[in-house]
Structure formats: structure tokens, C-alpha cells
Structure 1
């Protein structure tokens, strides 16, 4: 899909239609840099963010106040660190060379963190930027040029809110209109970033930040490249929903990562240690080893993500040796194994061996890369994977090649017994395996009207054959139907579709509900308003609205301090054990026949909890409770049964009356 020749409108529907540029999805590895006035004290309790030093002083954090008083004096103002921030050893060309050596493909420097200090000569922060201070230098501009000169993509981080601005939060419109937006646009126009990491969004909704207007300007009219990339931090309601790629933070295994993350692109950002800004209070034990970081990169890329790995330079402009060593080690590994990381995609062929083996897939889908941490003496067996053709399997970074054979649904790689004497140690070994490419999933279009549904199935490859089944029936010989054209259904069911073609692996199965609903279907949704810490507190108040709905969706008009209770019946086709799960921010609970199956209650970020229950055939009482206190809001409910994997509960399973 072209990024050019389209004007985006200042609304999320239009902005979210913009695909994430492919260069970003191919890059996989970037460098994050937190550097500013907080790099002078460079201190925080172990496990905390040192760049939040000012916040600690303002909020009365006793540990930071004690450190500040002992080292700078009780009355020493934070802003006076501008006189001590002297990056005399700053050599942006050496930084850029190191980042290139590390194997990173893009670099993101903090142009302005929450303390409001700018690393470029911002007129909106006159007197409080790096040119006006002891640094006397455009730190952002110099690195931006150096990074681009070595062939890497360059961008910057920008905080929407500030802890210490005279107009924030007392006059948010003035702060946004006269300070934040002009300043943000100035940095874009001067430095033409390929990537923007927005942050500090949680304090306000995207409307107050005027984020939709900014992004429409960025895409349509700014000096930024047409393939500029942005993240999802544009308002308290936008993370994992709106903007560009989705961003996690010290949470690479977030329960939020799903197919939509892979489609949009996602990125885990974290430090080599526990802090983003340099923290002199951290010791070697607080830093991840090179092996851990390489394995982290592999894990994230295998699940369709990027790693934005942070370094925290010192105030004098030097990068701590332990961080330099880690980056060089990652670069050494990528020199040998980079083809298994860059420009790869999620492997749809298999995710076997209980997660112990990670996989990526080449862009042409003809090579699977298998990552293992220890090569066995003897055969290596990979479940659920079949090699193809006559090529031998290769071990990247070496001249070693191996014979193989397929046995049932397993691939057996013949490993010499003295392999560990031949091959040098690696944190992760990578086998390159020739495979048959798989087909893309077909598209299913359902048009429902007058108690009927018309089904149209569209292949992504005109030569493929489409087959389908209904209910929980597998697509296999003797059970499936061949698709020859649109057809009509007059009864609700699950539809399963798969594409087949000679010389290709079949596509993933597409399973979609065909919902043909009448007045007996649906759930009663009661809406509450207020602030609570758990669902019981919400239920002690009175609901303000009651209406019939056909899904477990949230009221799109509600953002903070609200809750829902969904009540009705769920139809169970066959007796057995069923699993249910809720993923929510904040709390949620799920009950069947009054029994608490899932307890995901309380104040928390997006979190997934599951539970199971034995159910008999027929209608069962069903209830979901949910509340949102502040920040982001989300609720996803799924189930898993005897003959189907995790999926959303289809609308035709819900009833508001006995039938």
C-alpha cells in the first residue's frame, strides 16, 4: 500500500489507515538514547528510572531528596544542572559508528524528556536548552547528521507533557498551542526524522494534545520523509489502538501482543540495565548480559516485533563501557546471523518444541530460521516442521551443513557428535532450513440481511483452491466443501476456510462467526460512572444506563472512570470443560451460573487471566464485570472449548432470554 499520494485527515479512522512503513518492520533493531540534565545527578534507587529524578524531587521521594541534599544542597534547583551538563567528550561520529557496528538500523534520541530540557536550540525553551547551557551545542542536530551519514535512520523521542512548565497543567490549551505543538513541529522541520517516539501522553486524551491534527500535518505537509514512522503514544486512550506501531516497555511478553500487533508492527523498548537514563547506582548485576540481550532480540523478532535497546550516556558525553561492550557483542552476533533477523517475518509454519525453539521466516517464505541455545550431540528433532527440496540445512556463521529427513510431522537434522568441538560458542545458534512457502489466508466477506448471510471467499492467490467447513469440523478430506462461488446461509455457525495449491503449504485456517441474530440474542449492558478500585465497589453504586448489545465491546464514548456489567445467557453445544479468559485494563471478572471463573479484578494495566469450568449442554447464566479508573481502557474476552482453540465468543452464542 502506497504511503504517498494520499492526504490523511485529522481523525483516527483516517490516520490509522496508514500502514506502518516496511523499512521499520524490516529493521528489527534500534538504539534508544536517554540523555539530558538528569545525566548529571544520574541517580535513582536501584530498579528505578534515573531520568525521573526531577519527578522524585517534586513528589517528595525521600531517597532522591536525601541524595540531592547530600550532593548538591537542599536548595539547589534542578534547572541549575544546565550549568553542570558539560558533554565535553561528546563525539557524535563515534556514537554513530558504534551504533552501526552494533547492527542497529535506526537511532532515537530524547529531544526533550518530561523535565522539559531540550537537546536542540528550541525557541519555546529559550534559556533551557543545550545551546543556551554549558553544553553550548545542538546535541540533537549533531547526532542526527552523524547517524544519517553512516546510513542509519535517525529520529527522536519527544515528551508531550512536562513536569515543570508554568502553563502545565494550569492552562493546558495554552501549553499545547503556544509551547508544545510549535516546539514539536520545529524539531520535525529542522531534523526531518524517520521515526518519532512520542511519550508522556497518558496525562491527557489525544484531543487535548491535538495529536490527530499533528499527525495529519506530519504525514501531509511536514519536512519529514513520506515513510516517517510513529508509535502509539498520542493520548491516554491511544496506546495499542491508534497511531503507528504499538509500543511495550520492559514487557516483551505482554499479553497484549496479538495479530493486530504483528500487522501494525510493534516494539519493545528497554534499557540494558533497569533504567533508561544513566544510573550510577546500578552495578554490573543490574545489567543484562550480552547473551540475555541477544536472546531477547531473537524472542521479540520471532514474534514479529522490534527491539529498541536503550543506552544512557554520562553527562560528559561518554557511553559507559559496559553498554559499549554489550552493543559490540550484539553486533558480532548479527554479523554472522543477521539474515535470520533483518527483513524476516513471523513463521506461520510452526511454533513447536514448547517455545524452546524460536523461529523466523525469510521474506520469500522459502527459508525457516530455527534458533536454539544448545546444539545436541546427535539428532536435532523439530516438531511440526518439514524441510523441502534437496538443499542441506546450514548453520549460520559457519561452513557447516547437515543432512536431514522428514518423519511424519517432524524434521530430524543429523548432527555430528563432535559438533561442539567444531563450532564456536554462540548465545543462540541459527539453522537455516529450506521449506515450502505457505499461502496467505483467504479473505472472507459476510453480508447479513433479512435473516440470511451471503458468504464470499476471496483468495490472495488466483491459482489456489479454497475449501471450507462449518462448526468445529476440521478441514480435511471427506469433511470439507470446495468453494466455487458465493453461497447463502440461514443459520448461525462458525465458518472455517483454508487455501491450498500445489508446491505450497496450505494457508492458516480462517475461522469467522456467521451471526444471524434475532430478538432473543444479545446481552444486557449496564453502564456505571465513578471511581473505584475493584468491581465490588462499582456494583455498590447504581448504573446510569442499560441497553441491549451483541458483543462484549466497551462504550466508545467512555474513556475514564466508567464500568460495564454484561448479563445474559451463553449456549453450550456439548458437555465438557471450557476455558475463559479476560484481558483488561483495569479490572474484570467473569461468572458462569454465578461461579467466579475468571478474577482479573483490581487496578492494573492490561493483563490476562484465565480460568476453566465444566459445563453441561444448554443455556448457562453468563456475566462479565469491568471497570476503568484512568489511562488506557480495554476489555477482550475469549474462550476455548473441546474442539476449538482460543477465540472471541461469537454473538450468536449470547441470549438475553431462555429460548
Structure 2
């Protein structure tokens, strides 16, 4: 008995010791997840909004693809337009209701959620998509995690309408992020769901039967009416159509963003317009959670906003379909389309040329910007060949000139030229400026020992070109050599003050899209 009691005593002591060790270990794990930022603007402003990896990246890809793509008609706002009955047919959004009536029998028989079984994404292949993104030269990528329509493109426990539980029955975000992270490509998730709430239920002047212009009822995605599905009290469908109380919706909005941050660890989260509709306290909590979670995982997280939806010392500004007109004090982002109009796939889309895209991207880089390019996959998950060809052309140009792309910084001036400035409706200048060989842009290496001169077109061969603003007189610079990026041909050059004259080689040595000269300083 004594020996037995001794063994029991020893076991008891060991058990207690193991329990204490386990508690200490769990405490250490808990303590390791430090709360670095409080949900206040003052605390969040101490975060570095411009990590080196982002400044080096220059180019990323995202894509408007989801349940709204299924009709492949008109544009990505089909779910909104289908509930307007009085828009002029020839106006913005106007053709959708007649098309829906003719094709699907009208909203009396076929509502937006009825598209869900048709969204199969049968050709979606995360590895093949990331192969293409990598080939394009993109340094970050990710999905529109949720568009305005309320359908989540991840495996969600918060949103019952998600791509894992319904439609494709695939964790689109999870599969893509796994492939991207395996290749050390940074990740971005974009959110557009801030106006998913039915905010006009008590304002009859904004109801669907009164909406005669596309901007009416604009703070809510779905136009409200008591006789429409948008007013549903169904315990599940109300989450898709946003028919919740304001408090319930705001928490629902925040919980979805936090779920993506916790489950998929994006390096960047990005928000479309209407983020200002979310209470400030929720926005502070959202940013703090993203920053704290990222830093605790060893990341350097970034958040993007539009207009004035976040303070500029918290996140980085995104300018839709446009860019700055001069060098910015802060880094910034522009999200642009690979197509001439529209964000999601329709049979009417036409691609921009690689020439236009690259030249406008160079302009962005010269002004301290980074480009987020939107791709438009088909509902099946196939990326159209025309878009693939453009991405490959971009990748080919970048590969040839990569030293003049990644890791570059701004010069004393962004450049000069004759391209007529075109204003962008979202601010700044248009993302479809028409540049030529008469337009010059500059960037430099980080150490400022190299200047890159981009001629936005194919210069005439065997010609002397005078390039202004090359020498930074404040730094007492002198030129050691001038070379042509992507070529081994020798370049003849001379310097007069801060102006450089180069003699162009044969056309075959230069680039039709953008020719880049490299100036090495002593």
C-alpha cells in the first residue's frame, strides 16, 4: 500500500507539473499575440503604412468574379439593375431589367439568389491562375472577396451565402491564397460590401418603384420595396439582400472582414467606396485587428481606402481608374481594368492594349504609385484568352526591363511630354492616357546611383534625343555610363548641364512599347 501510494503521489506530482507547464506554455502563446495597436486613430497612425515590400512591388492583380458574373451581361452591377423597373432602357443600367425579363422570366419568377446553382466555377484552377499572374510579373494578387451583392468568395462561418457552402462549393480565396503564398507572392483581399445594408426601407422616395435614375437609392446596393425579395425577412436570405437592422449589419460587416483576416492572413485589405457608411468605431476595430493580426504573424500589413474613408496616416489612397498628376508625398494605389469598360466579364468586353496599360503603369510608378490591375474571368472560372495574352505581354515587357521596374523610386521630377492630360471622374488623371515617343518618364534606383529614362513609345533610330532633368545639381552628380535596358548595344551619349543627349540605336534594339535608358552615376 505504501509503495502504491508513493506511485500515486509521484503520478500526481507529475500531473500537476505537466498541467503547470501546459498553462505556462498556453500563457506564453497568448502573450506572444501582442495587442500592438489600440482601435484609435492615434494608435493606428504609428503603424508604417509604406513597407518596403509594397514600394518595391509596383504591380498586382485582382479580379471581379463571383455570383454576379453568371448572367455575363451588361456589367457587374446586374444584381442591382435587375430590381430597377423605371430606368431608361438606353441609360446606365437600363437594359438589364428587360433582358432579365426576357431571359429569366422576370423577378417574379427568378431572383438574384436563383443564380446560385448556376455558379459552378467548373473551370477554376487556382494553380493555373497563379501561373498566369506570376507570368504577368505581378508581385501581389487576390480576389474581390465580396462584392456589393453580399456573396462571399471564401469558406465563411459568418456569411451563409459563400462559395464553399453554395454555388461552386469551393473555397476560392483559400485555394488562391495557398498557391500565392507557396510562391511568395503577397496577397490582397478586397471588400465592397459596405453598402449591402438596406438603408432606404423607411424612405419611400428611394424605393425601387420610384427609382428613375441609376444613382437613386445609391447608399444601398439593392433597391428596396416591400413587394421585392430585397425586403425579405427570411432568416437566411436577409443576409444576402442586407435587410438587417443597422447595428446587426455593422457587426456582420466587421465580422466578415475579421474572418478573412484571421483565416487567410492577407498582406493587404482594400475597401471600395462607401466605407464611410460604416461607423467610425467599426472601422477603427477593423484596421486594428488587421494590423495586430498581421504583425503578430510576422507580416507588414497594409490597408487601402478611397476618397476620405480612412485617415491618410492610417492607410494608402486608391484612385479608381486614374492616377496622380504629379509626384505624390505618399505612396498610393490605382485599380484599373484590363478591359476598356466594365469590371466583370460580359460578351461585349474588349481588352486594352498592352502598350496602353504598360505606358500608363510607368506613369504611375514615376509618381510614387502602384498598380492593381483587374482581370475579368468568365462565370465558369476560365480567364479569356485575350486577357491572358495581354497579361503575358505585360509580363514579357517587365521581364526584359525588371531592373527598371521593381524596387525603383521617384526622381526629382516624374517626367515631361506632350500627352494631353485627361481628367478622371474619380480624381487625378485618366488611366487611359495616350502616350507616345514624345513622352518621357523617370525613376531611380533606391541608392540614387542609377536613373531610368522611359521613352513611352519607339524612338526614331539613329537619332539624337535630348533628355532634360537628368542631373540632380543639388547632389553634384556626374555620369559614368549610359546603357539601354534589355540590350548589350553601346549607346553614344553626351551631357550639357543637366541635359543628356543620347543617340538611339537601330529600332530592333529598342522596344515598341517603352524603351528604357539606364544612366549610371559615378
TM-score, normalised with respect to structure 1: 0.59
The equivalent residue for 2:289 is: 217
TM-score, normalised with respect to structure 2: 0.74
2:105 matches 1:73: yes
2:516 matches 1:430: yes
The equivalent residue for 2:346 is: 279
The equivalent residue for 1:567 is: none
- Equivalent positions of 1:590-605 (< 5 A) are none
What CA distance in whole angstroms lies between the structure 2 residues aligned with 1:390 and 1:292?
31
- Pick the structure with more helix per residue: 2
Once the 2 structures are TM-superposed, how far is the Cα of residue 411 of structure 1 from its aligned partner?
1.0
**Is the CA contact (8 Å cut-off) linking 1:367 and 1:435 kept in structure 2?**
yes
Task: Flag structure 1 segments of 5+ consecutive residues without an equivalent.
Answer: 45-49, 437-659
- Higher relative contact order, chain-length normalized (CA < 8 Å, sep 6+): 2
The equivalent residue for 1:297 is: 361
Task: Flag structure 2 segments of 5+ consecutive residues without an equivalent.
Answer: 1-32, 86-92, 197-220, 223-236, 420-438
- Equivalent positions of 1:81-480 (< 5 A) are 81-126=115-160, 128-161=161-194, 162=196, 163=221, 166=238, 168=242, 171-177=245-251, 179-202=252-275, 204-207=277-280, 210-221=282-293, 225-233=298-306, 237-238=308-309, 241=312, 243-253=314-324, 259-260=328-329, 263=330, 265-273=331-339, 274-282=341-349, 284=350, 287-348=351-412, 351-352=415-416, 356-372=439-455, 373-376=457-460, 377-386=462-471, 391-416=480-505, 419-420=506-507, 422-423=508-509, 425-435=511-521
- Size of the aligned set, in residue pairs, is 412
Once the 2 structures are TM-superposed, how far is the Cα of residue 224 of structure 1 from its aligned partner?
5.6
**Is the CA contact (8 Å cut-off) linking 1:114 and 1:200 kept in structure 2?**
no
Once the 2 structures are TM-superposed, how far is the Cα of residue 196 of structure 1 from its aligned partner?
0.8
**Is the CA contact (8 Å cut-off) linking 1:395 and 1:430 kept in structure 2?**
yes
Measured at CA, do residues 412 and 350 of structure 1 come closer, stay the same or move farther in structure 2, by a change above 3 Å? farther
RMSD across aligned C-alpha pairs, in angstroms?
A: 2.4
- Pick the structure with more strand per residue: 1
The equivalent residue for 1:28 is: 58
Once the 2 structures are TM-superposed, how far is the Cα of residue 199 of structure 1 from its aligned partner?
2.3
What CA distance in whole angstroms lies between the structure 2 residues aligned with 1:51 and 1:349?
38
**Is the CA contact (8 Å cut-off) linking 1:250 and 1:270 kept in structure 2?**
yes
**Is the CA contact (8 Å cut-off) linking 1:304 and 1:346 kept in structure 2?**
yes
Q: Which moved more, 1:28-37 or 1:147-156?
A: 147-156
What CA distance in whole angstroms lies between the structure 1 residues aligned with 2:243 and 2:100?
26
Deviations 1:584-618, CA, capped at 9 Å, x for gaps: xxxxxxxxxxxxxxxxxxxxxxxxxxxxxxxxxxx
Q: Secondary structure at the match of 2:442?
A: strand
Deviations 1:612-640, CA, capped at 9 Å, x for gaps: xxxxxxxxxxxxxxxxxxxxxxxxxxxxx
Once the 2 structures are TM-superposed, how far is the Cα of residue 206 of structure 1 from its aligned partner?
4.3
What CA distance in whole angstroms lies between the structure 1 residues aligned with 2:312 and 2:166?
39
**Is the CA contact (8 Å cut-off) linking 1:349 and 1:385 kept in structure 2?**
no
What CA distance in whole angstroms lies between the structure 1 residues aligned with 2:497 and 2:298?
50
**Is the CA contact (8 Å cut-off) linking 1:218 and 1:224 kept in structure 2?**
no
